[in-house]
Amino acid sequence: MEKFNKTAVVVGGSSGIGCETCARLTSRSWNVINISRSPCKNPKVKNVIADVVAGSTFTDAINKVGEKFGLDVLVYCAGFSMAAPIEYAKESDYRYLFDVNFFGALKAMQAAIPFMKTRGGKIILVGSLGGNVPIMFDAFYSSSKAALEMLARAAYSELKPYNIKVTAFLPGGTATGFTLKRKVYSPDETKSYSQSMNKAVAALADMEQNGMSPAVVAEDIYSLILSDKPPVVKASGFKNSTYRVMSHIMPEKVTLYLNDRAFRQ
């Protein structure tokens, strides 16, 4: 069996930030396993096809990786976004969103931790600045990412005695295909919110597609993997880090006013 010094599992590594993270790891001779619904096209990546919401198939995949190679790093990149008014959002949609964005990450951690307890490890949960400042008409995405950050903060303390280091990594707008995959409710489904929601969706798409390169974001993730003392919460890039700090310093009404203006233009 081919031997590697370090093994990383990337959940959601078939595209975007996850795919670029796989590229950074394989270029440094890591053993990289992508777990997602479609394969990562990087020939150096081993693919396990599994859906994070599909019963035990997903966690079984992590267990098999751990048993065969050990497990040094877990990067959870899987995500789902939906543009919908809170009033009319369907329960099946927002429950699915939380299953992907939050509960999938929780299940991945629970599967990975036993393999890290004797050797240490890194867990990086890819959240969003949207978990700090709400994204208009994407309330469930923002809520799930806020929950993911709190999960990381709690796990940071719980797992510290085992030398397992947990970080919630917060990208801002990033130019990936995630924008095009967003589920957007139709005018018939949004009713009186239709015009406002369309403006918000367009503003969000513009922020993303004119945002950071996924390659640069992935390099930040790799820096966290290499760090001896990674922070529990880290925004990607100077601009996003500054924005996150300011959102905590400014009065809530000011933050929400500026946020409102950004999505209503």
Residue 3 has pLDDT above 70, yes or no: no
Of 151, 63, 53, give the one whose Cα is nearest residue 111.
63
Residue 49 has pLDDT above 70, yes or no: yes
Residue 46 has pLDDT above 90, yes or no: yes
How is the chain split among helix, strand and coil, in percent rounded to 5?
A: 55, 15, 30
**Per-domain residue ranges of the chain:** 7-264
pLDDT score, position 251: 87
Q: Is the dihedral of CA 91, 137, 235, 175 positive or negative?
A: positive
Of 164, 5, 123, give the one whose Cα is nearest residue 69.
5
Cβ atoms within 10 Å, residue 192: 10
Helices 214-226 + 237-249 axis angle, to 10 = 80
Indicate the pairing of strand 121-126 with strand 73-76. Answer: parallel
pLDDT score, position 235: 95
- Cα–Cα dist 19/6, whole Å: 18
Better-predicted residue by pLDDT, 115 or 256: 115
| C-alpha dist (Å) from residue 132 to 76, 237, 245 | 19, 16, 10
- Cα–Cα dist 156/88, whole Å: 36
Residue 1 has pLDDT above 90, yes or no: no
User: Considering the domain 7-264, what is its CATH architecture?
Assistant: 3-Layer(aba) Sandwich (3.40)
pLDDT score, position 4: 55
pLDDT score, position 191: 97
| C-alpha dist (Å) from residue 179 to 2, 86, 124, 196, 264 | 38, 20, 22, 18, 18
Question: Are residues 74 and 121 in contact, defined by beta-carbon separation less than 8 angstroms?
Answer: yes
